[in-house]
Structure 1
Amino acid sequence: MVNGCKVIVLLLLWLGTSAGDKYALSANAAEHQEHTAHRSVGLEEVVLVIQSQRNSYHARRGVQRKMEILHQAAELGQVSPLPQNSPASAEKTQSLCSHKTNDIKNVTVPLHGLYLSFCLFFYFIFFFFKIALYIWEEGNGPELTAVAEFCTEPRDNCATTFTTYLPDCGDSVSKNNLFVAVKTCQKFHSERVPVVKATWEKDAGFLEYYSDVTDASIPTISLGVPNTERGHCGKTFAILRRFLSKAVPKTDWLLIVDDDTLMSLPRLRQLLRCYDPKEAVILGERYGYRLVQNGYSYITGGGGMVLSRVAVSRLVSSGCSCYRDDAPDDMVLGRCFTSLGVPITHSPLFHQARPDDYSETLISLQQAISFHKHWNMDPVAVYKQWLQDEHPRDEL
């Protein structure tokens, strides 16, 4: 119940990574429902929430998704769009978006009939946990029900389908507009660096290896920061300062990775075309730290951290810095960017772990950009299977 009204909630995740993500209100699915034991539900009883992020690309995609849904609803003859400012519908969706979820912000007003709203879910995993608690209602609520018509793969009678192939935002960003920084240390020069050279280094326009020692055979650059067993904050902030200096070519984008990260740079450059380098952007796989206690989100370093030049400049000029050289660099960056009001942008195509650590069904529906760690696997074989494109995959 939301403000005394019976509402069915359909969450439409729009993380913005893929123009191939397909979400549809299917007329076939509606006809299929008529054959069930339950009565058909009119769209006036449905709240549709499009999940988006604080970024101009995601905002555009959210509006596009909204218009697609409204068009389908109009074809069903169940919606008559009215001006955006509809207090009654706004009250209903605001209740949903804010109930016990203070980190969620409602940013547009839904339309009459089809309560279509946009909520910025900065911590999307945490959000689902909170929604489950809201429905569960300390054991007094209904059980969660699996619905076959909510599909992960297209098939007959799907109300929704989902893929995360790469978006088509135009030609890929030039390889000469992306600077790649690989963090390494002496003990991994002979073990991990050769894997990078055998796999994805060839796709980089500008790439440097940063180590605790100078090794001309690779070559590596010492930034004057001693190696640390845990956390590499001092090294990462030295990379950020170097990126803004005249010591390296000037590019719009910076990618920072570990020496055991496997990357697809062509896919990354295609994804980056969707983002505006004039905005402060930090992109990758988003994690959260103490979110229920006014914590912050951050891009996990193992999957790769992508930053626009604008974001790096804002961070360095802010004076926000490491509290120790061995502090976790990705978390410190997340704390700093959060304090600066820069959104942490999530993409499910970056991965902190190995392919074996994920559902095969999940990653088979993706065009992954990265994986992390070499434990108990052949990293070159993993790269060839999951990241190397002989023939680019078309969007669905």
Structure 2
Amino acid sequence: ERPGGARGSAATSPPPAELISSDDIFIAVKTTKKFHKSRLELLLDTWISRNKQQTYIFTDGEDEELKQKMGSHVINTNCSAAHSRQALSCKMAVEYDKFIESSKKWFCHVDDDNYVNVKTLVQLLSLYPHTQDMYIGKPSLDRPIEATERLGDNKMRPVNFWFATGGAGFCVSRGLALKMSPWASGGHFMNTAEKIRLPDDCTVGYIIESVLGVPLTRSNLFHSHLENLQQVSTSEVHKQITLSYGMFENKRNIINMKGAFSVEEDPSRFKSVHCLLYPDTPWCPPQVAF
């Protein structure tokens, strides 16, 4: 069983390579101003409420109310609010720079439709030394992506590599992040993204797999709305690292759990997940057997 697999109780899981705490992790949440109310508020009420010190919100517009809640942990990237390749890469570039500045051991990127179980995230990351080259996440494609790298002088060359989908969340060790610097720091990230004309998460995979030759370590404990979330078994929900919600093949795509709230009250199921993990939360109904 390799690290990050779904099975394996505490008794069988490998010993930690390094004892880390949530304070060693820089969790970057990418959002946009139009989703502050509809998406971000849910995260602030659930998992972020327990991990304010570890979480940094990267957005594209001023929001006083958000600033009051998160203080200096809200970063207005001044990137465009368009959902374009350039706007996404602009945000990822700022996330990378802020992480390097923070001197934390692990960089983890998630989207504003992810629930993060920080406890299981710490367990996974502690299996690897942060000084080693680690890129951990889950691909959304079943094969490497094929891209064309622009070499200047109108020359092109095909490249193919795996990348962890940003919508499920992914993590990069500090050791590896430092090696990415010539392609990722400052304005370099946007230039790299333009060279292959692919979005931000693909660009991260390109730098790590294609340029630096470090393979993606896959974990099935990360989940995006690009997969069928009904397949996450109810009894395994507490073991997952990230969850998501959205639409899949034109149907509502949410994890299947009874939980503390009805689907009407809790369409994302994140409140129910939160009450499963933290039943002592003031707004959680008294524990009923699910």
The TM-score with structure 1 as length reference comes to 0.52
| Contact 2:3-2:127 within 8 A present in 1 as well | no
2:272 to 363, 381, 384: 384
In structure 1, C-alpha distance between the alignment counterparts of 2:271 and 2:19, rounded to whole Å = 21
Is residue 169 of structure 1 aligned with residue 169 of structure 2? no
Higher relative contact order (CA 8 A, sep 6+): 2
Distance apart, 1:311 and its partner CA? 1.8
Distance apart, 1:373 and its partner CA? 2.8
Show the 5 A alignment for 1:206-225.
206-219=54-67, 220-225=74-79
1:307 to 172, 176, 183: 172
In the alignment, what sits opposite 1:16?
3
- Bigger radius of gyration among the two: 1
In structure 1, C-alpha distance between the alignment counterparts of 2:194 and 2:21, rounded to whole Å = 36
Taking only the aligned residue pairs, the percentage that are identical comes to 23
In structure 2, C-alpha distance between the alignment counterparts of 1:289 and 1:354, rounded to whole Å = 12
Encode CA deviations 1:185-217: one digit per residue, 9 max, x unaligned.
Answer: 110111111111111002323222111112232
Closer, same or farther: CA 364–328 of 1 in aligned 2, 3 Å: farther
Closer, same or farther: CA 288–20 of 1 in aligned 2, 3 Å: closer
Aligned partner letter, 1:369? I
In structure 1, C-alpha distance between the alignment counterparts of 2:204 and 2:111, rounded to whole Å = 15
Show the 5 A alignment for 1:228-377.
228-231=82-85, 232-245=88-101, 249-288=102-141, 291=144, 295-318=160-183, 321-323=192-194, 327-339=198-210, 340-353=212-225, 357-361=229-233, 364-365=235-236, 367-375=239-247, 376=252
In structure 2, C-alpha distance between the alignment counterparts of 1:166 and 1:387, rounded to whole Å = 27
Question: What's the RMSD between the two structures over aligned residues?
Answer: 3.3
Encode CA deviations 1:202-248: one digit per residue, 9 max, x unaligned.
Answer: 23232221111122321232122112224412211221022112xxx
In structure 2, C-alpha distance between the alignment counterparts of 1:300 and 1:164, rounded to whole Å = 28
Alignment length (residue pairs): 233
Show the 5 A alignment for 1:37-116.
none
Closer, same or farther: CA 335–292 of 1 in aligned 2, 3 Å: closer
| Contact 1:209-1:221 within 8 A present in 2 as well | yes
| Contact 1:261-1:371 within 8 A present in 2 as well | yes
Distance apart, 1:280 and its partner CA? 1.6
In structure 2, C-alpha distance between the alignment counterparts of 1:196 and 1:284, rounded to whole Å = 21
In structure 2, C-alpha distance between the alignment counterparts of 1:383 and 1:341, rounded to whole Å = 40
Q: Could you list the runs of 5+ residues in structure 1 that have no partner in the other structure?
A: 1-13, 22-162, 392-396
Distance apart, 1:283 and its partner CA? 0.9
2:48 to 201, 216, 228: 201
Distance apart, 1:178 and its partner CA? 0.7
Q: Could you list the runs of 5+ residues in structure 2 that have no partner in the other structure?
A: 68-73, 147-158, 253-262, 280-290
In structure 2, C-alpha distance between the alignment counterparts of 1:169 and 1:359, rounded to whole Å = 29
Q: Which piece of structure 1 moves more, 373-382 or 312-321? A: 373-382
In structure 2, C-alpha distance between the alignment counterparts of 1:165 and 1:226, rounded to whole Å = 48
In structure 2, C-alpha distance between the alignment counterparts of 1:383 and 1:250, rounded to whole Å = 32
Aligned partner letter, 1:221? I
Closer, same or farther: CA 198–354 of 1 in aligned 2, 3 Å: farther
